[in-house]
Amino acid sequence: MGTQVIRDVRPLGAAAVDVVLDRATVEAVLPAGSAPAHLPLLLDGRGQLLLPALVESHVHFDKTLWGMPWRPNTAGPTRNDRIANEQRLLPGIDVPIAERAGPLIEHCIARGSLHFRSHVDAQTAFGLRHVEAMLALRETYRDVIDLQFVAFPQAGMLINPGTRDLMRAALELGVDIVGGIDPAGIDRDPIGHLEAVFAMATRYGKGVDIHLHDPGELGRWQMERIADMTQAAGLAGRVMIGHAYCMGAFPTADLAPLADRLAALDISIMTCAPPHTTVPPVAWLRSRGVNVCSGSDGIRDAWSPMGNGDMLERAMLIALRYGWSKDEELAMAFDIVSAGGARALGVESYGLAAGCRADFVLLAAENLAAAVVDRPAGRTVVSRGRIVARDGVYTGH
């Protein structure tokens, strides 16, 4: 695997090019037909779209029931009901995490995602089992994908003694990011929760990623505190706030001071664009310089049977959620599941230009907007210069 070429592909729908790869890196992007004839052919794109690999910025691989027999959802209606339901259910699952999360990861790769951030539960009901299983699984796929982990206190941190110890142990084992969840709504002590999160981040030199479902004024107030602590800890560019439903409760004019702080501190906002609740005004946030990314959240798990890990379908769902129909809006939806995610996750050398990593999705679509609308299933995926999926099927690591 030295120098190779992908011939006749249209980057994001632009004019056809040949892409010359030097192992795992793009060496040159040339007009179609002009790459030297002697170069070994990695792929003949036949005019397909060339897209950068998709970025899954928020998923819970460790809790999926993917591949198992269907299990009717039995959770009660509240978030705490769902947390308790999962605590009862998951320890009794006899299929190892790797045998559920592994096939799901392969499915996601085959849909074009190569960069992932997965939350991994560090809660007393599970001990370090989820963390250890996912760290082992990361090794299995280390030559194919980038997989970041968040030590996630799903059941609360301060209200569950022992959770902080598990999170610290997870970080010492190699988990990348300190997680948090509804500092007010679940943990009942917003300042205590956030101080603990940021103290761990500082001590271990990690970023922060906080699930924030808390609504309205309560949520917004906590976002301001997250901004304060990001600034105080010098963690600009390394903090993500997930969901941020609260931002959908305000006219954008009322959000301007907060948005400007998020932009200045490069705090990314992650939305799955759920249709049944309020959502952050992402087009407006982006226009003010706030980075926005997206994710699948839980996929076929004890929370919900929904989801398939397809970030191109997620782009379509984002567009539907916000009522987008213009080409530039559909391109924005794509940007959120690609470059926005890469910025949030700190993926280096992301893109399609010379010098970028050779991480691509190829698919048959007329242009980028049509790809988002139609989500063609027959995708070819190239990871680090190697083909890892053909026609939507994972071909291996």
Q: Taking the complex as a whole, how short is the minimal distance between the CB of residue 72 and a copy of itself, in angstroms?
A: 4
Q: How many residues does the chain have?
A: 397
Query: Does 251 interact with a copy of itself (rule: CB under 8 A)?
Result: no
CA-to-CA dists, residue 365 to 16, 368, 374, angstroms: 13, 7, 8
Query: Does 346 interact with a copy of itself (rule: CB under 8 A)?
Result: no
Span near a copy of itself by CB under 8 A; candidates 24-32, 40-48, 64-72, 201-209: 64-72
Nearest-angstrom CA–CA distance, 317 and 339: 17
SS (HEC) of 244-274: CHHHHHCCHHHHHHHHHHHHHCCCEEECCCC
Span near a copy of itself by CB under 8 A; candidates 128-136, 171-179, 364-372, 379-387: 364-372
Query: Does 323 interact with a copy of itself (rule: CB under 8 A)?
Result: yes
Tally DSSP H helices, then E strands, for the chain: 12, 16
Nearer to a copy of itself, 153 or 309 (CB): 309
Nearer to a copy of itself, 101 or 372 (CB): 372
- Both structure tokens of 46: 């036949």
Query: Does 315 interact with a copy of itself (rule: CB under 8 A)?
Result: no
- Any bridge partners for residue 393, and if so which? 390
Q: Taking the complex as a whole, how short is the minimal distance between the CB of residue 272 and a copy of itself, in angstroms?
A: 10
Secondary element (H or E) of residue 140: helix 129-140
The DSSP code sequence of 83-94 is HHHHHHHGGG--
Query: Does 278 interact with a copy of itself (rule: CB under 8 A)?
Result: no
Strand order across the beta sheet in which 54-59 lies: 54-59, 113-121, 146-152, 177-181, 207-212, 239-243, 268-270, 292-293
Query: Does 377 interact with a copy of itself (rule: CB under 8 A)?
Result: yes
| φ, ψ of residue 105 in degrees (nearest 5) | -60, -45
Query: Does 205 interact with a copy of itself (rule: CB under 8 A)?
Result: no
The DSSP code sequence of 202-224 is HHHT-EEEEEE---HHHHHHHHH
Span near a copy of itself by CB under 8 A; candidates 46-54, 87-95, 189-197, 268-276: 268-276
Span near a copy of itself by CB under 8 A; candidates 4-12, 223-231, 259-267, 296-304: 296-304
At residue 183's C-alpha, the angle toward residues 177 and 187, to 5°, is 110
Which of residues 72, 92, 161, 251 is near a copy of itself by CB under 8 A?
72
Angle at which helix 216-233 crosses helix 252-264, to 10 degrees, equals: 20
Nearer to a copy of itself, 307 or 341 (CB): 307
Query: Does 327 interact with a copy of itself (rule: CB under 8 A)?
Result: yes
Query: Does 276 interact with a copy of itself (rule: CB under 8 A)?
Result: yes
Which of residues 15, 37, 69, 172 is near a copy of itself by CB under 8 A?
69
Query: Does 80 interact with a copy of itself (rule: CB under 8 A)?
Result: no
Nearer to a copy of itself, 180 or 248 (CB): 248
Size of site (CB under 8 A) for a copy of itself: 35
Span near a copy of itself by CB under 8 A; candidates 43-51, 115-123, 201-209, 372-380: 372-380
Query: Does 142 interact with a copy of itself (rule: CB under 8 A)?
Result: no
Question: Is the separation of the CB atoms in 332 and 283 below 8 Å?
Answer: yes
Query: Does 360 interact with a copy of itself (rule: CB under 8 A)?
Result: no
- Both structure tokens of 195: 């101080």
Residues near a copy of itself (CB under 8 A) are 69-70, 72-73, 75, 273-277, 300, 303-308, 316-317, 319-323, 325-327, 330, 366-367, 369-370, 373-374, 377
